[in-house]
Amino acid sequence: MCGIVGYAGERGAADIIYNGLKQLEYRGYDSAGIATLSDGKIHHIKRCGRVNALDGFAQKLSGKVGIGHTRWATHGKPSDNNAHPHLWGKFAIVHNGIIENYAELKEKFFAGVKFLSDTDSEVIVRLLDKFYDGDFALALNKVAALLTGSYAIVAICTDFEGLGVLRRKSPVIIGYGSDGNFAASDAPALAGVCKQISILEDGDCAILTRGKVEIFDSNLRKVQRAKKPNLATAASLDLGDCPHYMLKEIREVPASVVNTCAAFQSVESSLKQALRGVTRVIITGCGTAYNSGLVAKRYIEKFARIPTEVEIAGEFRYKDPVITSGTVIIAVSQSGETADTVEATLLAKASGAKVIAVTNAPYSSLTRCADVVVPVAAGPEICVAATKSYTGQLAALYMLAYVLAGKSADGAAENISAVPKLCKKTLECADIDSLADMCVSSRGVYFLGRDLDFAVATEGSLKLKEVSYIQSEGYPAGELKHGTLALIDESILAVVLITSARLAGKSENAVEQVLSRKGKVAVITNVESVIKRYADRAHIVKVPECEEDISPFVAAVAAQRLAYAAAVKLNRDPDKPRNLAKSVTVE
């Protein structure tokens, strides 16, 4: 979604905000803007394009108070006009979220008035100016009472040397710096400038000046929000010698797995307690997080023999789910802020399910509705495409499945201990680059597999399409013949994952079916008999041999590397794929 930053302090605001926005570009990058306040006047610049479209202009904005925005368009196409900040009267605002009743509000309060943009957000600044009578906090409060939907809003007012902040559903943190105070969507924006942060809660309003932070609830009663350490550091955002965060983060997969296993120990006993008497598991998440649930289902059903369903959060939240006693919901989310996942989890909780959150974001919204938070210790993931967080999720879910089976997490950690080395070896696999060439020259790519291989195939396909824009689908190998085979011809590539000797013969059927229809085939495998059989008929990527249960880690790293290589060959920016944003805090 969009990224927002505000600063009120002793230094030039524009520079600080610009740097913060650069760190938040993963949240959206179709337009950007900054507004500052000096001598009772608002100065601003906004441009279609990435944050660096502001280069040379932003630096000229004077003032020690300001707000900034990097956008992922929801209402209104990416354009200079639709970029934030939006200005009207004495105010400028930046907004992340969706104002669902913006059309009604326009009709009710501004009928016949021409707005300057096509956004839902502009109505906020118009309302602020309308309801302002000298009290900033009161005006914010009145506006909040009118808005429905989700919002993180930071506003400036020509009468006041500071910031006004509102939060409902979309995340906002307050940062305490040595020379001023901040508001931002996420901790990386404040890496290196704030050691301490507070997380605003739904309905909160905050007023920040250079030396003071005041937080109010929705009744404008003063409240305290605990200060926590800012875990994002400047070092964690350093690209090192990597050209892209995607590659850097794939290389960090081994560390993500090691750290997640280590972090699991701190929750093992509370998890055991929470899972006592569980008879049914529902896993929910979106995108990659959903895909890791597909792997986890297989772990849980194999180790614990507990029936497990995997639900796309955006679907689950709109059905009337059957939550029986003994149901636990495992909500998986890298960011912990994905709106569909948070809402699906709240729904299950309200129906009586226990909630386990599996997340890389320890202070996120998801953690606040969980009975137990299982940490994914992947570290900040900047690339929009999830890589090290996926394998971190697999590690956490593998351990969780063990605990559900009544076993000690030590046993699980022992099984996974081979994973970091195996993943490093996979990164060195020679034939991935040439497979990327095959992808690039194909009209479409199917990722096929059975059981665990199918679960990883869904993620391999998502990764490829997300960063390379090549049409792709993850499909169960056995299902191909029930319709999809009609699409196979010489322009189509099938990437078949075969990491299980048990199921190799069955997956080979799919290889034969594609070859017979003149489709191209690549096999990612560690099964010797498969390598021998297809050495001359298919492109082989030989990945390290391993136990079947940990093969998803190995296959995932191969698929991630493949997607990265294809994106680079096509000159895509793998870190910021078009039309996407990392943290999807709207529906």
Q: Is 240 helix (H, G, I), strand (E, B) or coil?
A: coil
Q: Which helix (H) or strand (E) holds 533?
A: helix 528-534
Which one-letter amino acid corresponds to residue 37? L
Listing DSSP states for 101-170 in one string gives: THHHHHHHHHTTPPPSSS-STHHHHHHHHHH-SS-HHHHHHHHHHH--EEEEEEEEETTEEEEEEEEESS
Min dist CB 304 to ligand M6R, Å, is 24
Min dist CB 335 to ligand M6R, Å, is 3
Smaller CB separation from ligand M6R, 72 or 132: 72
Distance CA 522, CA 565 (A): 15
Task: Given the residues 354, 463, 576, 582, select the one marked as catalytic.
Answer: 582
Smaller CB separation from ligand M6R, 464 or 538: 464
Smaller CB separation from ligand M6R, 462 or 524: 462
- How many alpha carbons fall within 13 Å on the CB side of residue 104? 7
Q: Which residue is nearest to ligand M6R (CB)?
A: 287
Catalytic (active site) residue 582? yes
Using alpha carbons, list the distances in angstroms from residue 9 to 14, 40, 55, 84.
11, 16, 22, 22
Smaller CB separation from ligand M6R, 184 or 584: 584
Min dist CB 56 to ligand M6R, Å, is 31
Min dist CB 381 to ligand M6R, Å, is 9
Across-strand partners of 35?
Answer: 44, 67
Name the residues that contact ligand M6R, by CB under 6 A: 286-289, 333-335, 338, 341, 384-386, 462, 466, 583-584
Smaller CB separation from ligand M6R, 197 or 584: 584
Listing DSSP states for 14-52 in one string gives: HHHHHHHHHHTGGG--SEEEEEEEETTEEEEEEEES-GG
Distance CA 300, CA 358 (A): 15
Q: Is 453 helix (H, G, I), strand (E, B) or coil?
A: helix
Task: Given the residues 2, 194, 261, 546, select the one marked as catalytic.
Answer: 2
Listing DSSP states for 489-528 in one string gives: STTEEEEEEE--HHHHHHHHHHHHHHHHTT-EEEEEE--H
Listing DSSP states for 432-449 in one string gives: HHHHHHHHHTSSEEEEEE
Smaller CB separation from ligand M6R, 412 or 559: 559
Min dist CB 515 to ligand M6R, Å, is 30
Distance CA 580, CA 560 (A): 18
**What residues are annotated to the active site?**
2, 582
